[in-house]
């Protein structure tokens, strides 16, 4: 086993200790991101653990997780920094009163101005800066994990604005100049593909696509997340969910739904799947009434197939 593989396996095991079960492909991405110091763009259907991956990484590396949720209209004042206007105004008031004292003894306009100039920059210094997630991540002394969630929901302009941060780990604040990261953060961007991301952004990132997990992996995930559940039932329920993903549905059940369902079955003290039980709890797995109605006809077949697994 090569050294690289050992390192990657170590990441995978570290993740599984904190309850995030993944395959080598995902662990490789984390390994690369650390070594190449590049952000990871995580894509995949909703509910496969894109956000969880960032959380697990933060836990594994014991770094603080800083999260920025994107939405339409998000701008730099919410993502990067804001000036503390109230404080600035208050200080101006205070300064006004002190202005007389300050100017005492100053001869002529030039000298007064020179004295004022000494105060100029105080208003736009770090004391008056309110850091938002991105700036916070750059300011962390020992590095951090920065999660930029659902980047596809943000506007084009914001995406473009991120480019400087993603490639050089620095940002520009007009009043202060360029701020460099004290220690490069590990950046995760997640996307549900609600719109095509720009090439420039993709080029700067390691691209990781997380699909629905295969049966074996999903069983491991359930075993880690819902350890109380009986092994036989676990096999059946995973087989059933895997079967559902083969059907034509508006929205296929994701891992998070499988976990919820496993917890539900546990609560109901179920020992094995049967059609009635599934029918009654199907709304945990399927989120559209259309889907539930469509699948009803095939429910018996799916259940018996899952029981055979």
> Which residues lie near other proteins (CB under 8 A)?
2, 4-5, 8, 24-25, 28-29, 31-32, 35-36, 38, 41, 73, 75, 77, 82-83, 85, 88, 155-156, 195-196, 199, 202-209
Residue 218 Cα distances to 12, 29, 99, 281, angstroms: 15, 20, 69, 19
Q: Which residues of 126-143 are buried (b: 16+ CB within 10 A; e: fewer)?
A: eebbeebbbbbbbbbeeb
Considering the complex, state which of residue 136 and residue 153 has its C-beta at the smaller distance from other proteins: 153
Considering the complex, state which of residue 96 and residue 269 has its C-beta at the smaller distance from other proteins: 96
Considering the complex, state which of residue 103 and residue 160 has its C-beta at the smaller distance from other proteins: 160
Q: How far is residue 41's CA from residue 198's CA, in Å, rounded to a whole number?
A: 12
How far apart are CB 78 and other proteins at their closest, in Å? 9
How far apart are CB 153 and other proteins at their closest, in Å? 11
Q: How far is residue 123's CA from residue 212's CA, in Å, rounded to a whole number?
A: 51
Return the ∠ at Cα 102 (arms to 99 and 108), rounded to 5°: 95
How far apart are CB 22 and other proteins at their closest, in Å? 12
Spatial neighbors of 219 by CB under 8 A, at least 6 apart, are 234, 235, 238
How far apart are CB 220 and other proteins at their closest, in Å? 19
How far apart are CB 263 and other proteins at their closest, in Å? 32
Are 50 and 189 in contact by the 8 Å Cβ rule? The answer is no
Q: How far is residue 240's CA from residue 302's CA, in Å, rounded to a whole number?
A: 6
Considering the complex, state which of residue 82 and residue 140 has its C-beta at the smaller distance from other proteins: 82
Considering the complex, state which of residue 208 and residue 273 has its C-beta at the smaller distance from other proteins: 208
């Amino acid at each position: 086993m090569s050294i690289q593989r050992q390192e990657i396996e170590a990441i995978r095991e570290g993740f599984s200790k904190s309850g995030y079960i993944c395959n080598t492909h995902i662990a490789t991405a984390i390994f690369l991101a650390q070594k190449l110091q590049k952000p990871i763009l995580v894509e995949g259907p909703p509910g496969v653990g894109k956000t969880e991956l960032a959380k697990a990484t933060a836990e594994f590396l014991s770094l603080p997780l800083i999260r920025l949720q994107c939405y339409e209209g998000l701008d730099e004042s919410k993502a990067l920094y804001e000036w503390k206007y109230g404080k600035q105004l208050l200080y101006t008031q205070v300064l006004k009163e002190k202005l007389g004292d300050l100017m005492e003894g100053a001869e002529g306009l030039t000298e007064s101005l020179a004295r004022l100039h000494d105060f100029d920059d105080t208003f736009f210094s770090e004391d008056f800066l309110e850091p938002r997630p991105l700036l916070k991540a750059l300011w962390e002394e020992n590095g951090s994990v920065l999660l930029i969630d659902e980047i596809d929901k943000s506007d084009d302009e914001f995406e473009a604005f991120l480019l400087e941060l993603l490639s050089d780990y620095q940002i520009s604040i007009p009043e202060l100049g360029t701020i460099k990261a004290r220690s490069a953060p590990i950046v995760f961007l997640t996307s549900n593909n609600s719109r095509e991301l720009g090439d420039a952004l993709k080029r700067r990132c390691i691209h990781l696509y997380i699909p629905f997990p295969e049966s074996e992996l999903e069983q491991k995930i359930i075993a880690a997340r819902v350890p109380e559940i009986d092994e036989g039932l676990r096999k059946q329920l995973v087989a059933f969910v895997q079967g559902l993903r083969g059907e034509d549905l508006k929205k296929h059940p994701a891992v998070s739904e499988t976990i919820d369902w496993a917890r539900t079955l546990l609560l109901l003290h179920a020992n094995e799947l049967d059609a009635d039980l599934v029918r009654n709890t199907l709304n945990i797995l399927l989120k559209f009434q259309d889907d539930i109605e469509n699948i009803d006809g095939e429910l018996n077949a799916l259940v018996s197939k899952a029981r055979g697994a």
